[in-house]
Amino acid sequence: MAEGRKSAPEQQSAGGWGALNAVERHLGKQQILLKGNRALLSMNKPGGFDCPSCAWPDPDKPHFAEYCENGAKAVAWEATKKRTGPDFFAEHTVEELKSWTDHDLEDHGRLTHPMRYDAAADKYYPVEWETALADIGERLRKLDPKRVNFYTSGRTSNEAAFLWQLHGRLFGTNNFPDCSDMCHMTTTVALPQSIGIGKGTVTLEDWEHCDALFIIGQNPGTNSPRMMTNLHGMAKRGVPIVAFNPLKERALVRFSDPQSPVEMLTGKGQKISSSYFQLRTGGDIMAMQGICKAVIAADDAAQEQGRPRVLDVAFLAEHTHGFEEFAEFVRNLVWDEIEHYTALSRNEIEHAADIYMKAERVIVCWGMGITQHKHGGDAMHQILNLLFLRGNVGRLGAGPCPIRGHSNVQGDRTVGINKTPTEAFLSKLDQAFGFRSPREHGHDTAECCEAILRGEVDAFLAMGGNFFRAIPDIERIAEKVPQIGLTVHVATKLNRSHLIHGKNAYILPALGRTELDMQNGQAQTITVEDSFSMVHGSTGMLAPASEHCRSEPWIIANLAKATVADRAVIDWDGMTADYDRIRDKIEEVFPDQFTDFNQRIGKPGGFKLPNSASERVWNTPTGKANFLFNPDIKDQNDDNPEHPHLQLMTLRSHDQFNTTIYSNNDRYRGVSGERMVVFMNEQDMAELGLSEGSMVEFTCATDVGTLRRVSGFKVVAYDVPKGCCGAYYPETNALLPLSHRDEGSNTPAAKSVPVIITRVEPGEPASSKPEVPVSRPAIPNPLTPAV
């Protein structure tokens, strides 16, 4: 039941006993209390395994218990005693399983056997590894490589990802759709335009020295909870923390550190954000430009009055390009317009600017609230412009800090999962393995989906993830998947993508990160790269879920032997027998980044990959850090607040990891036992004639030629700016048009889907509604035709 709160209960802190209780409950539910607790203590420590949940870095001196509530849920989910074996598949047809929830599919337990789809019975049956791989290999060999796609999800290790791209390129394609195409691809594309590298510049050491932190469009309490330890410490030191978020996320308001006896006893917790700006979704471009305007105005005044300059003039002169044009542009911005687009007051924005100017060293973090918009890249450029003004890049305690999602999503890209590889990389790869890689660019996730829609995909292979649940426009795309000749999913748990299958289909069971990976009598270590570009080893310790599970490197190497063994002399068996040999090859291909790779993987906290911008070397066409802006783009979503539709943010609950739903609760937002809810502003509710608990449906208000509608959502009054609303992903993914995406990177604009919300009376069939109902009357909406 949703409590229907109008605002986050601010007195109540996040973390604390709620978090500790949740850990024990989730371990208990997976029947692994003892084993789970033991595993948790070796997580994120040298010699132990890396948390399979988020990409927050490990400190070099870890706590006794260096894990968080959501890391514990991820471990419990993987280490569960429950199993989904051949007997399960014998009992259920695929058609029947389609009616199961995402939670129930995965909660049934770990996959134990390689399984092959049988169309006559509409069931999956067990198959020997050798038979499965031989059949997949034979089928692939008959196909045009351009019509085959190799997907990667970010839990994949560097070693597996490196072999995956090697196999794909040897096969003949650069079609590497990746989960980050739906995530931080905006960062990977837009950041280099500003600073010449697609990764953040800061490390944990910078966090210790920073004296103001901005957190924009990111919800660390749920999605990178170990970051809360750092935020908590900063708040206690009196470092201002400034949040920009349409929702008052509870952990950003107040948090109890489970390691602090006093906070645990009093339950009061620590105030985290010193200022919390609840802007409109998509208002970040103007919010950042507004702050820049105030900073530049303060500098203009200082110059006039002969006071010390506010801007870092030396940095601007030596290191940047385009400052004068940008300064002139923001000087001319009108406050009314800034207020209109942000839903913040001039006062609030000037206050944020004050905090920025008073701080010597500023870090700005961002997440999906920035990247998942049509103009996400433009918003990111404004964040960088703000940092440049006072030289907050490339020095201690300061810098841009994108917080990545999956635990190794950044690493997968580093080792070659890339649809547009550079010539330098390809020639190194070719040299190291003695073949010629394809030069033609391949597909990212959006392009792969478009190719599926056009009927131009003959095989789709996924190294982890839940592609057909995570993508936009899932209903339209799922309709076309049965025409694909072959679908193969390497996975730990059953998910919806395995049910939306091609004519021939396989599910191959992989070892998880927590599990002991024995090859040739030796326990193997894999490596991952965190959000701060630190690379470190991870060694599983738990007994494998089944004797038939195989490690991802083993699966890829054996698939390669069945598919492309004759195309180059590659020691696939040798690399599988000892992952040091895979790392030697990674070092050979990337000598500057992975120098002495095998010697350095055990270093506590990991070793740092080189980062040019952190040295103030700008690998941009101008050779400088670039001030970038587009005077015509005022909103991340090309929107005007006066449009009658609402902007829907698709969100994560506290009890999910992407499409993995641990439970139907969202403790911090006061929702329990259900996910089909929409968080709405009370004034919007009143205008639409809705009240707490009303049942509604959403219709997408853009690309109106195609009807996209989802039903069965219950209204929850919530403290969210007028014109914005929120609902959970992936339940809303059918609403999101594939074409509604960031222009530079193709990242789906999942944080502002224009929607019309309509009440559905009990018993009324959803389809009886007019094609595109208008929700808020009277104001003309260019996106919807008149009805």
Ligand X SMILES: Nc1nc2c(c(=O)[nH]1)N[C@H]1C(S)=C(S)[C@@H](COP(=O)(O)OP(=O)(O)OC[C@H]3O[C@@H](n4cnc5c(=O)[nH]c(N)nc54)[C@H](O)[C@@H]3O)O[C@H]1N2
Q: Which residues bind Mo ion (CB under 5 A)?
A: 183, 405
- Residue 439, amino acid: R
Q: Which of 84, 153, 538, 694 binds ligand X (CB under 6 A)?
A: 153
Burial 584-609, CB ≥16 within 10 A → b, else e? ebbbebbeebbeebbebbeeebbbbb
368 binds ligand X (CB under 6 A): yes
Contact residues for 149 (Cβ-Cβ < 8 A; gap 6+): 173, 175, 176, 177, 443, 448, 451, 457, 459, 460, 461
Q: Residue 226: which of Mo ion, ligand X, none does it interact with, CB under 5 to 8 A by kind?
A: none
Residues 391 to 420 in contact with ligand X, rule: CB under 6 A: 405-406
Contact residues for 142 (Cβ-Cβ < 8 A; gap 6+): none
> For strand 459-463 and strand 399-402, is the pairing parallel, antiparallel, or unpaired?
unpaired
Cα(753)–Cα(115) distance, integer angstroms: 37
> What order of strands is seen across the sheet that includes strand 212-216?
275-277, 241-244, 212-216, 362-366, 399-402
330 binds ligand X (CB under 6 A): no
660 binds ligand X (CB under 6 A): yes
* Residue at shortest CB range from Mo ion: 405
Closest by CA position to 173, among listed 144, 200, 197: 144
Q: Which of 227, 365, 470, 716 binds ligand X (CB under 6 A)?
A: 470
Closest by CA position to 593, among listed 580, 579, 581, 607: 607
Tokens matching residue 104: 């129930």
Cβ proximity of 609 and 533 under 8 Å: yes
182 binds ligand X (CB under 6 A): yes
Tokens matching residue 283: 């208002």
Q: Residue 585: which of ligand X, Mo ion, none does it interact with, CB under 5 to 8 A by kind?
A: none
Cβ distance to Mo ion smaller for residue 27 or 409: 409
Q: Which of 245, 408, 533, 538 binds ligand X (CB under 6 A)?
A: 245
Residues 729 to 768 in contact with ligand X, rule: CB under 6 A: 729-730, 732-733, 736, 750-751
Q: Residue 367: which of Mo ion, ligand X, none does it interact with, CB under 5 to 8 A by kind?
A: ligand X
525 binds ligand X (CB under 6 A): no
Residues 50 to 79 in contact with ligand X, rule: CB under 6 A: 53-54, 70
Q: Which of 112, 173, 382, 650 binds ligand X (CB under 6 A)?
A: 650
Shortest reach from residue 304's CB to Mo ion, in Å: 47
Tokens matching residue 192: 């280099």
269 binds ligand X (CB under 6 A): no
Cβ distance to ligand X smaller for residue 258 or 367: 367
Cβ distance to ligand X smaller for residue 316 or 449: 449
Q: Please write down the long-range contacts of 195-198, taking CB distance under 8 Å and 24 or more positions apart.
A: 195/384, 195/393, 195/400, 195/613, 195/618, 195/620, 195/625, 195/626, 196/612, 196/613, 196/617, 196/618, 196/619, 196/620, 196/625, 197/611, 197/612, 197/613, 197/619
Cβ distance to ligand X smaller for residue 624 or 740: 740
Cβ distance to ligand X smaller for residue 408 or 437: 408
Size of the site for ligand X (CB under 6 A): 62
Going through 427-584 in order, the beta strands assigned E by DSSP cover 459-463, 486-491, 504-509, 518-519, 522-523, 526-529, 534-538
Q: Is the dihedral of CA 496, 502, 507, 512 positive or negative?
A: negative
What three-state secondary structure class fits 448? helix
Shortest reach from residue 254's CB to ligand X, in Å: 15
Cβ distance to ligand X smaller for residue 437 or 636: 636
Of how many residues is the chain composed? 787
Contact residues for 12 (Cβ-Cβ < 8 A; gap 6+): 250, 254
Cβ proximity of 495 and 105 under 8 Å: yes
- Residue 188, amino acid: T
152 binds ligand X (CB under 6 A): no
Q: Which of 97, 490, 549, 716 binds ligand X (CB under 6 A)?
A: 490
Closest by CA position to 633, among listed 743, 556, 557: 743
Q: Which of 137, 258, 269, 367 binds ligand X (CB under 6 A)?
A: 367
Cβ distance to ligand X smaller for residue 12 or 223: 223
Cβ proximity of 40 and 68 under 8 Å: no
89 binds ligand X (CB under 6 A): no
Shortest reach from residue 223's CB to Mo ion, in Å: 9
Q: Which of 94, 216, 344, 772 binds ligand X (CB under 6 A)?
A: 216
Q: Which of 27, 79, 183, 738 binds ligand X (CB under 6 A)?
A: 183
- Residue 454, amino acid: R
Shortest reach from residue 640's CB to ligand X, in Å: 15
Cα(274)–Cα(252) distance, integer angstroms: 9
Shortest reach from residue 106's CB to ligand X, in Å: 5
Tokens matching residue 742: 């960031």
Q: Residue 189: which of Mo ion, ligand X, none does it interact with, CB under 5 to 8 A by kind?
A: none
Q: Which of 110, 155, 226, 501 binds ligand X (CB under 6 A)?
A: 155
550 binds ligand X (CB under 6 A): no
Tokens matching residue 515: 């599990």
Binding mask 667-706 for ligand X (x = CB under 6 A): ----------------------------------------
Cβ distance to Mo ion smaller for residue 42 or 650: 650
Q: Which of 284, 447, 530, 638 binds ligand X (CB under 6 A)?
A: 284
- Residue 257, amino acid: D
538 binds ligand X (CB under 6 A): no
Query: Residue with structure tokens 């195609």?
Result: 706
Query: Residue with structure tokens 């000598």?
Result: 591
Shortest reach from residue 708's CB to ligand X, in Å: 12
Q: Which of 173, 174, 201, 219 binds ligand X (CB under 6 A)?
A: 219
Cβ distance to Mo ion smaller for residue 405 or 512: 405
Shortest reach from residue 69's CB to ligand X, in Å: 8
Binding mask 110-149 for ligand X (x = CB under 6 A): ----------------------------------------
Q: Residue 736: which of ligand X, Mo ion, none does it interact with, CB under 5 to 8 A by kind?
A: ligand X
Cα(27)–Cα(564) distance, integer angstroms: 42
Cβ distance to ligand X smaller for residue 248 or 321: 248
Shortest reach from residue 657's CB to Mo ion, in Å: 10
Q: Residue 137: which of ligand X, Mo ion, none does it interact with, CB under 5 to 8 A by kind?
A: none
Tokens matching residue 110: 């770990």
Query: Residue with structure tokens 């471990």?
Result: 75
> Under the rule (CB under 6 A), what is the footprint of ligand X?
53-54, 70, 106, 153, 155, 179, 182-183, 216-219, 222-224, 244-247, 249, 281-282, 284, 367-369, 372, 405-406, 463-467, 470, 490-493, 495, 510, 512-513, 552, 636, 649-652, 656-660, 729-730, 732-733, 736, 750-751
